[in-house]
Structure 1
Amino acid sequence: MRTIFEKQFEDVLEATREGEKRCLSTTRWGGDPVLMVVDAALDSTGLNYFNIVVPRVRRFHETFVKAGRIRSFNDLRKATPDDLDLGKILNNKRAWGVAIGVSEILDNMRKELGIRSDLEALKTWAENTSHLAWERDPVGRVNGVGLITFQYLRMQAGVDTSMPDKIIKRVIKREFGVRTSDDLSFIDEMERLSHAIGYSQIFICWAIWMKESDKGKGEWEAV
């Protein structure tokens, strides 16, 4: 199975290693947890990731982070989904509601547990929850947060897990014959596949995204 995987994704393996490294070391978006949350929130819209989501996260960075307007979860939680400047970046109140709601949950956690930083709060949350409990989790209960968004945020926070998006499920079914009755079972099957082929779940997901998006030359976000 490892040979099948490497042959199918050989042209994106190098770029995929960068994605895996950034997730596992929590250094995506320069290690900025606010941008990780914004990324996951905008990705929840289902829009093209590399062509639409990434450029808009960059615009958020320029407009809000670099300008000193939003640099923490505490700052972001004070925003409103109908903020005109947020709307100029992406006209989707539901997505911004996700970013604001998740920031509020994580900011409260940071304060209640005496955690030093927003990044540590994000990592603590991700490590201490589970896809099996996502509907009961405070982040999972934020309006607009589905299992895919929940899992993607955990991946960015350094947890080796997977997300059951339609692209990943289609490719895994085609290449490895994995069929499951529901998304939670799919995540469990991805863990088994990871052990079988010797690559992390994060690596498998990024390899599929890079291949299916025709992104294999290291087109990574730079902020």
Structure 2
Amino acid sequence: MNAIPSQEVASHCLQAFTQLVPVSQAAFYRVDRHLQARDFQLQGMSDDMHLDYLDNYRQFDPLQPRNCLSSGLTVVPLGLAMSRQPPRDSRRYQHFLQRYGVVDVVEVLAQRAGQPQAAISLLRTAGQGAFTGDQLAQLNALQSLLQMAVANMQPCEDALLELTPKERQIALLLRQGASNKQLAQELAVGLPTIKTHLINLFRKTGVSSRTELVVSLFL
């Protein structure tokens, strides 16, 4: 069976989960060998909120892959996860959620050989209320579908995982043959900024040209 691109898996899984269990925001992400969440695909979540999370609150998130793995569950409610970490960290994470009107979060994990491979984070606002017992049961049933989808997902190279979202965007455009001018237009930045991104990409991947970069990341 041919592997399925991760973006396609993410889109289908997000659509299925959010149609059956109403949420305000959702995110699909990969989990690397260091148990770090990578390659986020967002639904209904603003870039500002996501960047705020990554820059300021990620370390306080009780639903990080490592924490979810230690719970022994594949569907992990926020309340349970917060009870397993220091109260001060839970308060900081609650502050983040309150800033964006979120009252409840559930994480659904897919594992391979006992290790998380990908997950979906589901968030609800005050208008929707906390997840009910019936909804958690639905998510447990849906987890098996996520498990099957991730099993057929195209592996993602470690080198690509180490790139920032903007660097990955540039790398994908380079694979399509984009010039510096086209990159600048697509990202709405100046040519000097594009050159800086390319320098950083070359340094991270240990290459010295566009061709070598594409071969290193995608071939």
Structure with more strand by fraction? 2
Would you say same fold, with TM above 0.5? no
Ranked by relative contact order (alpha carbons within 8 Å, sequence separation 6 or more), the top structure is 1
